[in-house]
A and B are shown apart, each in its own frame.
Chain A
Amino acid sequence: MARYGMVIDLSRCHGCRACMVACKVENNTPKGSFWNYVFRFEEGVFPETRVSFLPRPCMHCDNAPCVKVCPVGSRHKTLEGLTLTDWDRCIGCRYCEVACPYGVNCFNWKDPKKNRYLDWSDPSLEGVELSHGMPYANPDLDLPQGSQGRHTAGGGRMKGVVEKCTFCVHRLEKGLLPACAANCPVGALVFGDLDDPESPPSQLLREKPHFRLLEGEGTEPRVYYVGGAPPTTASRQIEAVKARVER
């Protein structure tokens, strides 16, 4: 069985945030939810400054603190190495969110239907035809996933539950790459089976020195970085995304 993981080549990433957009479109996440987030850093003092980028999906930790604390087993590990949330079971206590050191969890603070980027019931949009259905209703997301048939795919489910990056579990089942990896214009996100020595990420890990984020926390992330260095206390964010939900 495949045990998935991701290797991110920081030397290729140029901070275009296409992965963030691809994720939003694929998973129909509501306003303010960023399952994948690309840091844009600046270091040093002008004119000696250096800019760097760091995409941050969920790390799908093998020793995931979020899984340990979930009181109802909604947050769980699958045999394929994914860390998933069963939105049908989540009680919305947000314990996973405070336990995760990477800040990747998104709670539905309000009804996601009322939290879309565009109000699709607006009369002026009448007659707008989209070739592949409405952008907030990816039909694949409703299918139960995995051998247990749990409801883990996609976002924008209901208010009061926590959602986060799934590595596009619904695409993996169809043999597709996660949306972020499939859409990165420079192939910086390399996804595959880490147990298979011939898979692209495994090869990359053999060739290049790598690190994982917050290695000291003992979370054993399944996301590796090559071609760069971990952020330091000197890394400042240039234009942090202002993720907001308002009443």
Chain B
Amino acid sequence: MNEKKRLPFGMGRLGTKWWVLVGVSLTLVTRGIIAYSQQASEGEVVTGMRDIGPMGGAAWGLYIVFVVYFVGISFTGICLASLIRLLNLKVLRPIVRPAEVMTVIALILGALAILADVGQPGRAFLMLLKYARPQSPFFGTFAMVISGYLFGSLVYLYLHGRPDAAVLAKRPGLLQRFHRWWAAGYGDTPPERARRVRSSFWLSVALLPLLITATSTLGFVFGLQGGRPGWFGSLQAPGFVVMAGLSGVGVLILIAAGLRQALGEKERLNLELFRWLADFLLVLLAGYLYFLVVEWLTNSYAAGPSESLVSQAILAGENAWIFWGSVAFLTLPAFLLLLQRLRGRVSLPLIVACGVMVNLAAIAKRFLIVVPSQTHGMLLPYSTGSYTPSLVEWEIVIGLVGLGGLLFALFVKGFPILELDRDYLGGTK
């Protein structure tokens, strides 16, 4: 009885672990804000970026790398959530809500990373509203990905949260008002439920193609640039989608493992679920390694002189350690997961380690797409350039990651992070 009085999943109760998470996140966010205010007052001279050409730099750096990374994660979150609902995959049901929350948070971070990158952030909104040109692939990133897609996934989260909110709205307490607002008159009666299920089905159906388009535009930001050796290509967009899947599933594994640990939810977040996630990861890894080989073969056999300069820089030059590191962090997890699969075991630490490695590889790969084509991809005989992110850039980017952690921690305390069972507190009618 006492158990039933408490809110589910540690909501409303602030334990030590939670405070540690919040404390760490807050520290990172604060450092990020300090770094950003430095950039805002001095200009982007505080970054490691410089002009392409006589200045021998890269005009796009870590911020764009992380825009691509965050948007990729959010893409995966919403795709997985939609697929799990559409195909009704029971085992994976518990991670649907975390995936939706991950989508929304990652999108917010992506938008902030864009703002960190542009030289006139204050102007950006105004000018984009007044003069937006849909022909620019950047517009796709701004308008479709960040606003359309953010709106879509917020609605999604909102709709799917309503039954839980309806249940919780009946519970007195600090959060009651919030839950009431969320439920907004929804009572989870059978006709209401039918209507909600229908609208969420169509939303899923509508969202999926939008997502593929949106993430492809992100690939097009690079893929349509004929003048930058290494960027132009039709594999760019599909490669982006698969890499997005990898990093997204990786982060989801970390979130699920964290929740399992923190909430002691060994039943809902069971090993069977992790086995599924590991299988996803394995399939995506196989797909990506295939892309990698194709890319490498085309580059080494059929590339023009400037293309080979770029791939030289990647394979053997100053960026080689990043490349080979990312290859290691892609093949090692593939190997480990395959081994685990063949032996029919499920090891949570191993899956978590793979999740971490895959994410580091994803960031490294994004870096290799964005940077060497600028520093080594000059078609006129300028001297080769170089780019090393500055401390300010790292602090801003890590601050964004911290903000992600903070938002997640706050959400967990205000709303059930796992969907409530139907019979929770007599929620059935």
Contacts and interface: CB of A to CB of B under 8 A. Distances in A.
A159 B227 contact: no
A108 B54 contact: no
A107 B382 contact: no
A245 interface: yes
B231 to A, nearest CB: 9
A70 B137 CA distance: 9
B382 A105 contact: no
B54 A95 contact: no
Contacts of A98: 52, 59-60, 225, 228, 374
A218 interface: yes
A contact face: mostly helix, strand, loop, or mixed: loop
Contact of B133 (A71, A97, A237): A71
A243 B226 CA distance: 26
Given A71-B142, A160-B120, A217-B227, A91 B43 contact: no
Q: Which of B49, B118, B227 has the most CB of A within 10 A?
A: B227
B44 A240 contact: no
Contact of B380 (A110, A231, A246): A231
A213 interface: yes
Contacts, number: 171
Contacts of A159: 43-44, 119
A106 B120 contact: no
A34 B56 CA distance: 12
B contact face: mostly helix, strand, loop, or mixed: loop
Nearest to B38: A247
Interface size class of B (residues with CB under 8 A): 35 or more
Interface stretch (B123-131, B182-190, B196-204, B412-420): B123-131
Nearest to B55: A243
B43 A103 contact: no
B53 A91 contact: no
B45 A245 contact: yes
B59 A97 contact: yes
B59 A237 contact: no
B116 to A, nearest CB: 12
A122 to B, nearest CB: 21
A84 to B, nearest CB: 15
26 contacts: A37-B53, A65-B227, A68-B135, A69-B138, A71-B138, A73-B131, A73-B133, A91-B128, A95-B136, A97-B52, A99-B227, A101-B380, A103-B53, A103-B378, A106-B55, A108-B43, A109-B45, A109-B49, A109-B50, A109-B51, A110-B43, A111-B43, A160-B119, A161-B119, A217-B227, A233-B305
Give 8 nearest A-B pairs by CB, closest first: A92-B119, A160-B119, A103-B53, A101-B227, A110-B45, A159-B43, A110-B43, A109-B45
Interface of B: 42-47, 49-56, 59-60, 117-121, 123-124, 127-128, 130-133, 135-139, 142, 225-228, 305, 374, 378-383
Interface of A: 32-34, 37, 39, 41, 56, 65, 68-74, 89-95, 97-111, 159-162, 213-214, 217-219, 231, 233, 235-237, 240-241, 243-247
